[in-house]
């Protein structure tokens, strides 16, 4: 009988084993199904692996990854710094929240891809346009989650800080920041996925370069195995970044287990 709410505590080794077995099952199933399919439509994992090594050895994949990673890294860093700053201001000040909240919610709900033609007119089709697109996609989950985290700090913690005559800076870094950290981390994890999507969309619609450009170019020439390589690299990139953010959150939130 199922017991809802019951927690099954798995060790790290058990979790990794389950993930590895699941991955192997997916790859074997994919290879088996692809044997009876048109390789132009569904390439086999073995062919994708061969294409990966070929593109690694000739340096093509490294060059494309560098082009994508530079625009993503700068755009994502700007999103984190501005997103947290604006979110903290909105969480602390009712006036700032009232002023910015309608615009933040509107831009978050708006399909940002509709603004790309205007961004291309204003910023061109190069590196700057890609960074702007990444920022527009990634910043709003961080703003919203940070503001919610700041507003959800328990009042009695703030009262204790005030009672001990703590400065606003001390209250921010000693009370608000640790309490809001899970919300901020959630916003950053959401922003990772949106930022990667933005990076690829920007490379599709602006200067065709980087990993997104590889997908377009190889798809147009019906080299499906090679087109799958950057897709898999993007997936790995998302997994690694999410894991690193979770690891950083655990380190910063170690005080919770004390």
Full residue range of the structural domain in which residue 221 is found? 43-257
In 3-state terms, what secondary structure has residue 44? coil
Q: Is residue 76 part of a domain?
A: yes
Q: Is residue 17 part of a domain?
A: no
Cβ neighbours around 114 below 10 Å, total: 8
Q: Is residue 243 part of a domain?
A: yes
Q: Is residue 6 part of a domain?
A: no
Residue 189 near residue 79, CB atoms below 8 Å: no
The count of structural domains within the chain is 1
Provide the CATH number for the domain around residue 176: 1.10.3720.10
- Angle among Cα 202, 104, 210 to the nearest 5 degrees reads 10
Q: Is residue 140 part of a domain?
A: yes
In 3-state terms, what secondary structure has residue 188? helix
Task: Give the residue among 24, 23, 45 at the shortest CA–CA distance from 33.
Answer: 45
Q: Is residue 27 part of a domain?
A: no
Q: Which helix (H) or strand (E) holds 45?
A: helix 45-57
Nearest-10 crossing angle of helices 210-220, 224-252: 160
Dihedral angle at the C-alpha atoms of 85, 91, 96, 100, nearest 10 degrees? Answer: 80
pLDDT the model gives residue 142: 93
Those residues with Cβ within 8 angstroms of residue 178's Cβ, 6 or more apart along the chain or in another chain:
252, 253, 255
- Tokens 């921010």 locate to 172
Q: Is residue 18 part of a domain?
A: no
Residue 215 near residue 227, CB atoms below 8 Å: yes
Ordered per-residue pLDDT tens for the chain, 258 residues: 445 445 556 776 777 788 788 888 888 888 787 777 776 777 888 888 888 998 889 888 999 999 899 999 999 999 999 999 999 888 888 898 899 988 888 888 888 888 888 888 888 888 888 999 999 999 999 999 998 888 877 665 555 555 556 566 666 666 666 777 888 888 999 999 899 999 998 888 877 788 888 888 888 888 888 889 999 999 999 889 988 888 877 776 655 444
Residue 211 near residue 169, CB atoms below 8 Å: no
Helices (H), 58-115: 60-92, 94-109
CB-neighbour burial class of residue 74 (10 A; exposed 0-12, middle 13-18, buried 19+)? middle
d(CA 233, CA 250): 26
Question: For residue 7, what are its two tokens?
Answer: 């927690």
Cα-Cα end-to-end distance for the chain: 35
Q: Is residue 9 part of a domain?
A: no
Dihedral angle at the C-alpha atoms of 30, 231, 66, 197, nearest 10 degrees? Answer: -150
pLDDT the model gives residue 15: 76
């Amino acid at each position: 009988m199922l017991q809802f709410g019951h927690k099954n505590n798995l060790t790290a080794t058990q979790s990794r084993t389950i993930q590895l077995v699941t991955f192997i099952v997916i790859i074997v199933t994919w290879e088996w199904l692809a044997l009876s399919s048109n390789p132009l439509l569904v390439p086999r994992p073995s062919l994708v692996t061969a294409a990966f090594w070929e593109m690694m050895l000739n340096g093509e994949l490294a060059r494309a990854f560098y082009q994508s990673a530079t625009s993503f890294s700068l755009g994502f860093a700007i999103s984190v710094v501005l997103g947290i700053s604006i979110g903290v201001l909105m969480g602390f000040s009712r006036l700032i929240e009232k002023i910015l909240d309608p615009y933040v919610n509107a831009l978050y709900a708006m399909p940002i891809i509709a603004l790309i033609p205007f961004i291309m007119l204003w910023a061109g089709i190069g590196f700057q346009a890609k960074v702007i697109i990444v920022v527009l996609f990634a910043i709003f989950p961080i703003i919203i989650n940070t503001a919610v985290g700041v507003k959800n700090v328990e009042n009695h913690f703030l009262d204790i800080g005030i009672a001990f005559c703590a400065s606003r800076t001390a209250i921010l870094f000693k009370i608000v920041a640790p309490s809001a950290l899970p919300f901020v981390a959630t916003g950053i994890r959401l922003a990772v996925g949106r930022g990667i999507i933005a990076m690829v969309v920007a490379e599709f619609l602006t200067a065709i370069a980087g990993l997104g450009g590889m997908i377009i170019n190889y798809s147009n020439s019906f080299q499906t195995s090679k087109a799958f390589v950057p897709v898999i690299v993007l997936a790995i990139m998302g997994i690694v970044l999410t894991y690193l953010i979770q690891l950083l959150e655990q380190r910063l939130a170690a005080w919770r287990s004390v």
